Structure 1
Amino acid sequence: MNADPSWAAKFLDKLELIILPRYNPDGNAYFQRTLATNFDPNRDHTKLVRQQTRDIKQWFSTFAPHIAIDMHEYNARSNYATYYNNAADGMYSAAKNLNIHPAIRELAETVFAPAIDASLKSKGLRGEPYMTASSRSRTPRLEEAGTDAKIGRNAMGLTQCVTFLFETRGIGIASQSFKRRTLAGLQMILGVLETARDQAETVYSTIESSIEELKASQEPIVVSDYSTYSNRTWTMVDTRTGDIVQLPVEFASTTPASPNKTVARPEGYIIPRAWFDLADRLKVSGLEVETLKEGFKGEVEAYNITSSVLGRSYYEGAVLNTVTTGTFTQEVSLPAGSFFVSSAQKNAGLAFVALEPENIDSYVSFGIVPMEVGDVYPIFRKI
């Protein structure tokens, strides 16, 4: 931008930009993806166990962008069907969580995603949706980016902004093809920025109106979802010849995912005073949390834990707890200093994924609220 101020001015007339050069500089000093503590910063977006995560989350929530980009690299050495490598110069994915307003997800998928792909192609580069492999056998099984909120892309998207993950070829190949890799990242960024600049009014009005609709919404909360496999081809490099080929694969698309379990949207959640640390986490995520000076007395919907399955090993410092629940209504009387989290707010989706116990990234799942069969979940739904 310094090299061409007139070009830069065309963006800055329409956009306010903040760039975080590196998310984990302490971990980078050890040449690792994870923080210096070996926690993965991109799996800490709901449990918020590291202060570094909390500081960045508060900074992000304060700026409250309409658009966010999360830049990563992918492993260039992964083989598929023995002889093939991913040929994409850039992989990209919008936020997929179904608690993001549908109009914002549609804006990302139908306006921004094609622009990203076109921006790559304009420089002779190749793009594909972001994927991971559940199988690399003769017919690889590839899975599109998921909906889980512990990952930055979805956590940022749940603030009701257009969010993209960008992945360029890089892990394991040192500085090889560095100029091409840098260009790929730049072109994906430009695909977003140029679209935001050229369609600023549409983008702004779509997001702002979606936020207002979300605040007034009575639509159910999506607690879990699924995707199904279908056949397609994937752009690969044949490592035996160097040729670019289209390899048949099975692909599980999350554009969009399909709802599995939904629950009625409550007026909000009531958190007893003893669980103040949950309120603190939600505030860090940009949620408005009301302290109830007079306490709370009334009828609520409560969950009881009907099954609990613990993981067999640690995941990011926690033994995951997968639970199922039943619901019942009861009268509760909670002391002054308890908390209320309204569903009628912009970042409510972050409360849904954290406070609904069956969600894959909930406080129950990560053991922040320990639960076993027969327990009553201590966070109540005001209905």
Structure 2
Amino acid sequence: MLTTLLLAALLSSGTPAQGKPDLKTPYEQGNGNQTATYEEAIEWYQKLDQAYDEVKMMPYGSTDVGRPLHLVVVSTGKDFDPASIREKNKRILFIQNGIHPGEPEGIDATMMLVRDYLQNKKLRQQLDNVVLAIIPVYNIGGALNRNSHTRTNQNGPEEYGFRGNARNLDLNRDFIKTDSRNAQTFHQIFREWDPDVFMDNHTSNGADYQHVMTLIATQHNKLNPSLASYLSGKMVPTLYEGMKQDKFPMVPYMNTVGETPDKGIIGFMESPRYATGYTALYNTIGFVPETHMLKPFKQRVQATYKLMENMIETVHRDADEIGKLRQQAKQETLTQQKFPLDWKLDTTKVDKIPFLGYQARYKPSEVSGLERLYYDRKSPYKTMLNYYDEFTPTVTVDKPVAYIIPQAWREVIERLKLNKVQMQQLKRDTTITLDTYYITDYKTSSRPYEGHYLHSDVQVKTKRMPRQFFQGDYVVYLNQESNRFLVETLEPQAVDSYFNWNFFDSMLMQKEYFSSYVFEDLAAEYLRKDPELRKQLEARKKQDPEFAKSARAQLDFVYKNTPHYEYTHQMYPVGRLMQDVKLPL
């Protein structure tokens, strides 16, 4: 009994009973082609928590499979309060693993990395001004759905998890729409910890080449200019040089122009549905490492380990600079007046980057008899590849003073609250004159995408009009850290707006109509009293032969130009207050 109590006391003090604790990971105990299960990963981190005072494992909210989402914090100062950590001018590096559990390198590499940094005095020094916040396994439902076949294009490990979560959602498309409990809990963690740098570990699909590691960095055009300059001019080159020295030369993610990399690659413009697209809304520098699917699992784990090692070293070196730039970026976001909503690639601007590839060839398929692509690994080559990584805005919007959101749209309100958006509510019913959008055109996907029929190419017209709002409706001023998040979600033309994700679809349907035989006489009366409307009708008939043949269409034209037509049809409910006026708050 005494021995048991002594051991427990030693473990709780962070001092191993006999030297270093036995923290060999399931990956290390295997043959290099095995990854930890969800249960093994959580049990391992529990042992780490017990062995070191510098580690705290915290369960946050739930996930779609009913298991809690854990955050593991490694803080050599033994401070686990994010506000206190920021006050001490320490940087927070957020590492997320297992969003796609069939791509598990990060799960295993992070376990070994954390242990090594705690046990190696030289490495440990780099955590003096860097705190690690780690999600061991994000997609828990997918991790529990283990198999050996669904990653058809992948070389190991022997067993792995599934891409879809317990609701068959791809969680790397859920950061804005937030359909999953996983994403809801992530928002709670992310907004509380406000990380300076974010890493989301993955495995690639696509072309074959010699590189083990590819990298997506936050698209610099949509990042705050000060952060973008540091990212492109200093941080990314440091990571590339470090990985080159570690014998894992990197290349940007292979988003190819054509079927093969030969014609060049395009930088990835990650919209806010993706992890780093979302984190950029809060001026967090984001990275998605993508190891190459066809390389042995052991190499992929090693490359992921080395990249995280280089990342910690870089954040440690540049801790003060990163902190100052983020503070500057946050201040500039508060005063930013124009926000881009959509982007297009600028093909006139191209860089050359070193690339290690394999010759792409073609031969008859043994399945179809038709020509098929293959990569000849006996013909490696080195070249300078075209890299297109400049994007220009196609839609830009002026920031309103505030958005006013009717409380009826509770799904939207709930998501704003998850993101700690500061909101006030009207204390009484009131009429407010403001800018209101009418949706004039949009496209909708013909098949469901992640549980939604996604809209795109939205066109709007703006009408300044008085509108009735009610006690309890929400007023959201754009004077807060969430400014960019608010614009990206509440402006319907933004790529991942709540409108595009179908949260406002009910306002697209007309609710009142007319019977033709009843409205005929009324329509004729309106045309007699309004010669200009008659003129517009006749012009439309001349321009559109099909319209001229349809009595119903002509009646509908008149109907929509009378007070009988419901003004709320295709009216976007969120109002834009463009001048600061006194409201009953």
Q: TM-score with structure 1 length normalisation?
A: 0.89
| 1:43 corresponds to 2:179 | no
Question: Displacement of 1:250 after TM fit?
Answer: 5.6
Q: Does structure 2 conserve the Cα–Cα contact (< 8 Å) formed by 1:266 and 1:381?
A: yes
1:42/1:336 CA distance change after superposition, 3 Å:
same
Tell me which amino acid in the other structure corresponds to 1:106. Answer: S
Question: Displacement of 1:99 after TM fit?
Answer: 5.2
Tell me which amino acid in the other structure corresponds to 1:354. Answer: T
Tell me which amino acid in the other structure corresponds to 2:378. Answer: G
Give the equivalent residue in structure 2 for 1:240.
Answer: 376
1:317/1:141 CA distance change after superposition, 3 Å:
farther
Distance 1:43 1:32 in 2: 15
Match among 142, 154, 161 for residue 277 of structure 2: 154
Structure having the larger proportion of residues in strand: 1
Match among 368, 375, 379 for residue 570 of structure 2: 375
Distance 1:286 1:131 in 2: 35
Question: Displacement of 1:139 after TM fit?
Answer: 4.5
Question: Displacement of 1:123 after TM fit?
Answer: 1.2
RMSD value, Cα = 2.3
Q: Does structure 1 conserve the Cα–Cα contact (< 8 Å) formed by 2:404 and 2:473?
A: yes
Give the equivalent residue in structure 1 for 2:296.
Answer: 177
Question: Displacement of 1:70 after TM fit?
Answer: 1.1
Question: Displacement of 1:158 after TM fit?
Answer: 0.9
Give the equivalent residue in structure 2 for 1:341.
Answer: 476
- Structure number with greater CO (CA < 8 Å, separation at least 6) is 1
User: Could you list the runs of 5+ residues in structure 1 that have no partner in the other structure?
Assistant: 80-84
Give the equivalent residue in structure 1 for 2:197.
Answer: 67
Distance 1:34 1:296 in 2: 46
Deviations 1:331-366 (A, max 9, x none): 223111111222221122111111110112111111
1:240/1:262 CA distance change after superposition, 3 Å:
same
1:292/1:186 CA distance change after superposition, 3 Å:
farther
Q: Does structure 2 conserve the Cα–Cα contact (< 8 Å) formed by 1:97 and 1:158?
A: no
Tell me which amino acid in the other structure corresponds to 1:42. Answer: N
Match among 200, 207, 223 for residue 326 of structure 2: 207
Secondary structure of the equivalent of 1:117?
Answer: helix
Distance 1:295 1:122 in 2: 65
Tell which deviates more after alignment, 280-289 or 358-367.
280-289
Aligned pairs (5 A) from 1:314-333? 314-322=448-456, 323-333=458-468
Aligned pairs (5 A) from 1:1-383? 1-3=114-116, 4-30=119-145, 31-75=161-205, 78-79=206-207, 85-96=208-219, 100-133=223-256, 135-136=258-259, 139-140=262-263, 142-170=265-293, 173=294, 177-218=296-337, 220-229=338-347, 230=350, 232=352, 234-238=355-359, 239-246=375-382, 251-253=387-389, 256-294=390-428, 297-322=431-456, 323-370=458-505, 372=508, 375-383=570-578
User: Could you list the runs of 5+ residues in structure 2 that have no partner in the other structure?
Assistant: 1-113, 146-160, 360-374, 510-568, 579-585
Distance 2:220 2:483 in 1: 13
Q: Does structure 1 conserve the Cα–Cα contact (< 8 Å) formed by 2:333 and 2:484?
A: no
Q: Does structure 2 conserve the Cα–Cα contact (< 8 Å) formed by 1:99 and 1:221?
A: no
Tell me which amino acid in the other structure corresponds to 1:338. Answer: D
Percent identical among aligned pairs is 21
Distance 2:230 2:328 in 1: 13
Distance 2:351 2:398 in 1: 35
Question: Displacement of 1:216 after TM fit?
Answer: 2.3
Deviations 1:205-252 (A, max 9, x none): 11012101211222x110111113347564313342434424676644
Question: Displacement of 1:188 after TM fit?
Answer: 1.8
Deviations 1:39-61 (A, max 9, x none): 10000111111112111121111
